[in-house]
C-alpha cells in the first residue's frame, strides 16, 4: 500500500528534513508541502492525503486550527511535529497517532512512520478521530499559560512574571526577554516558549519576535504588507505579513 503524505511546517529546513527522510521510504508518496495552516487546510481538502506531518506552531493558522478547520470528514492520520515540552505533549500522547519532538533523529522518525503504516492498515475508526479533535479542544481550553519564568543570571536565580515582559526576540539557542530597560537570556526556543505563554497576551509577529500585546501603542505600514509595531516605550518591531492575520484576530480586521 502506498501512503500519500503531506508535510506542513513553516520552517523550510524542517520541511526539507522531512522530505529527505520520506524520500527514503519506497511506500511513501509526498503529495505536497505547506508553509502555513491556511495552505494545509486547502491541501488536505483537495488532495486527501493519508498521512500529515503537522507542525503545531505556525503563522496564519496553527496546527490546532488546521484540525478544527478540516473536521472529521477530511481528517487524515496525524503525526504532530512540535517543539512542545513533555507536559504539553501528554495532551496528545494517547489521542494523536504520534508526535515528533524537535529535534528528532532518523530512528524516532521511522518509529512514527511504522505506527502510521500500522494505523493505515486498519479499517477507519471514526471514534479515534473524534477523540483527537476532542483532545485538541480540551488542550486549547486549558489554563492561562505560563505565568512565571525561572531566570538564572550572574549566579542568582529569580522568578520573572510573564506579564512583565515587553517583548521577546530569538538569540541563537536562547531567547532574549526585554523587561523595561533590562534584558534576560533564557535557554529556550521561540516556538517552545510561544506554546507555553498565554496566547491572549503574547503574539508572534515575526519568526524571531514575540510581543506582549498590552505594550503595543500603534502600527505603521511599510511595504508588501509588512508593518512596524511601535511599543509604548518607543521600541519599533517588524511585523511580517505572514503573522498579520493573527494580529487581526486580536485587534480586528481594520489592522
pLDDT in tens, 97-142: 788 888 889 999 999 999 899 888 775 555 555 656 555 555 555 5
Same domain, 119 and 190: no
Whether the pLDDT of residue 250 is over 80: the answer is no
Same domain, 131 and 158: no
> Which residues, in sequence order, are bridge partners of residue 216?
231
Helix axes 126-141, 86-93, angle to 10 degrees: 150
Q: pLDDT band at 92, cuts 50/70/90?
A: low
Q: Would you state the cell numbers that stand for residue 220, as one nine-digit string? A: 505603521
Whether the pLDDT of residue 59 is over 80: the answer is no
Same domain, 52 and 173: no
Q: pLDDT band at 94, cuts 50/70/90?
A: very low
| CB neighbour list of residue 117: distance below 8 Å, 6 or more residues apart | 3, 27
Q: Mean pLDDT throughout 40-60?
A: 88
Same domain, 105 and 188: no
> What does the H/E/C string look like for 157-198?
EEEEEHHHCCEEEEECCEEEEEECCEEEEECCCHHHHHHHCC
d(CA 168, CA 80): 25
Peptide bond into 24 cis (omega under 30): no
Q: Are 156 and 142 in contact (CB under 8 A)?
A: no
Q: pLDDT band at 30, cuts 50/70/90?
A: very high
Alpha helices per DSSP H over 49-152: 63-74, 86-93, 106-120, 126-141
Q: What confidence score (pLDDT) does residue 110 get?
A: 94
- Domain count of the chain? 2
Q: Mean pLDDT throughout 59-88?
A: 74
Domain end residue (candidates: 125, 141, 157): 141
CATH number, domain of 205, equals 2.40.50.1020
Q: Would you state the cell numbers that stand for residue 126, as one nine-digit string? A: 471514526
Q: Mean pLDDT throughout 18-23?
A: 96
d(CA 217, CA 235): 10
Same domain, 27 and 123: yes
Same domain, 129 and 239: no
Q: pLDDT band at 145, cuts 50/70/90?
A: low
Domain end residue (candidates: 126, 141, 156): 141
Same domain, 195 and 113: no
Range of the domain at 246: 148-251
Q: What confidence score (pLDDT) does residue 254 get?
A: 52
pTM of model > 0.75: no
Same domain, 113 and 204: no
Residue 225: closest CA among 252, 243, 207, 204: 243
Cα separation of the two ends of the chain: 48
d(CA 173, CA 170): 8
Domain end residue (candidates: 141, 158, 173): 141
Q: What confidence score (pLDDT) does residue 127 get?
A: 56
Q: What confidence score (pLDDT) does residue 156 get?
A: 75
CATH number, domain of 46, equals 3.40.50.2300
Q: What confidence score (pLDDT) does residue 240 get?
A: 84
Same domain, 135 and 154: no
Amino acid at each position: 500500500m502506498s501512503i500519500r503524505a503531506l508535510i506542513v511546517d513553516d520552517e523550510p529546513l524542517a520541511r526539507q528534513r522531512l522530505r529527505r527522510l520520506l524520500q527514503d521510504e519506497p511506500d511513501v508518496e509526498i503529495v505536497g508541502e505547506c508553509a502555513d495552516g491556511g495552505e494545509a487546510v486547502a491541501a488536505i481538502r483537495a488532495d486527501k492525503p493519508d498521512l500529515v506531518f503537522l507542525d503545531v506552531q505556525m503563522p496564519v493558522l496553527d496546527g490546532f486550527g488546521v484540525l478544527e478547520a478540516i473536521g472529521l470528514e477530511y481528517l487524515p492520520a496525524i503525526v504532530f511535529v512540535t517543539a512542545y515540552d513533555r507536559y504539553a505533549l501528554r495532551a496528545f500522547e494517547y489521542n494523536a497517532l504520534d508526535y515528533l519532538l524537535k529535534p528528532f533523529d532518523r530512528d524516532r522518525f521511522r518509529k512514527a512512520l511504522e505506527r502510521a503504516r500500522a494505523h493505515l492498515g486498519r479499517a477507519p475508526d471514526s471514534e479515534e478521530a473524534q477523540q483527537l479533535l476532542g483532545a485538541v479542544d480540551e488542550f486549547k481550553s486549558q489554563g492561562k499559560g505560563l505565568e512565571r519564568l525561572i531566570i538564572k543570571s550572574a549566579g542568582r536565580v529569580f522568578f520573572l512574571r510573564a506579564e512583565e515582559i515587553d517583548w521577546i526576540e530569538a538569540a541563537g539557542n536562547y531567547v532574549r526577554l526585554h523587561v523595561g530597560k533590562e534584558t534576560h537570556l533564557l535557554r529556550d526556543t521561540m516556538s517552545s516558549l510561544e506554546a507555553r505563554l498565554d496566547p491572549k497576551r503574547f503574539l508572534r509577529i515575526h519568526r524571531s519576535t514575540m510581543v506582549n500585546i498590552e505594550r503595543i501603542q500603534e502600527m505603521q505600514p511599510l511595504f508588501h504588507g509588512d508593518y512596524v509595531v511601535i511599543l509604548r516605550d518607543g521600541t519599533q518591531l517588524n511585523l511580517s505579513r505572514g503573522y498579520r492575520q493573527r494580529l487581526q484576530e486580536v485587534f480586528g480586521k481594520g489592522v
